[in-house]
């Protein structure tokens, strides 16, 4: 499947590519956030992958739908940046991260505390 991966940075591309080795999807990495203005970049992609700062409102969904996209994969547990009612009305499948590892959250919290303590930011 061809997937347009929005809002990506160089450090994410390596991890996403490594996670995709077994599945062999064709990933196209895009730096812009997914919004109504950038949704046209996904024309011809059956799926898009977005992040928390993207704005997938009714206008973005209309453009995605017209371009052939039917699956929206979120790289987040939250989904408040997606108009779910409009997505359902248009027949999109929306998937998300069901939860984050409590160990990863604890590690990140500790890293933030150390950053504040050592002033490494």
Hunting for tokens 């996904």 — which residue is that? Answer: 42
Query: What are the DSSP E strand ranges found in 1-121?
Result: 2-5, 26-29, 47-50, 71-74, 93-95
- Structural domain range at position 84: 2-118
* Of the candidate ranges 33-37, 73-77, 116-120, the one whose mean pLDDT is the lowest: 116-120
Counting the structural domains of the chain, the total is: 1
102, burial (CB in 10 Å: exposed 0-12, middle 13-18, buried 19+): exposed
- The pLDDT value recorded for residue 21 is 95
pLDDT, tens digit (0-9, with 9 covering 90-100), for 3-23: 999 999 988 999 999 999 999
Question: Which CATH number belongs to the domain containing residue 60 in this structure?
Answer: 3.40.50.720
């Amino acid at each position: 499947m061809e997937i347009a991966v929005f809002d990506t940075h160089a450090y994410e591309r390596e991890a996403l590519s490594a996670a995709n080795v077994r599945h062999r999807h064709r990933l196209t990495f895009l730096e812009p956030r997914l919004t109504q203005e950038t949704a046209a970049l996904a024309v011809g992609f059956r799926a898009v992958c977005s992040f928390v700062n993207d704005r997938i409102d009714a206008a973005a969904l209309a453009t995605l739908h017209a371009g052939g996209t039917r699956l929206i994969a979120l790289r987040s547990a939250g989904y408040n940046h997606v108009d779910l009612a409009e997505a359902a009305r248009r027949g999109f499948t929306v998937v998300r991260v069901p939860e984050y590892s409590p160990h990863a959250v604890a590690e990140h919290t500790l890293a933030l505390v150390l950053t504040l303590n050592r002033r490494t930011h």
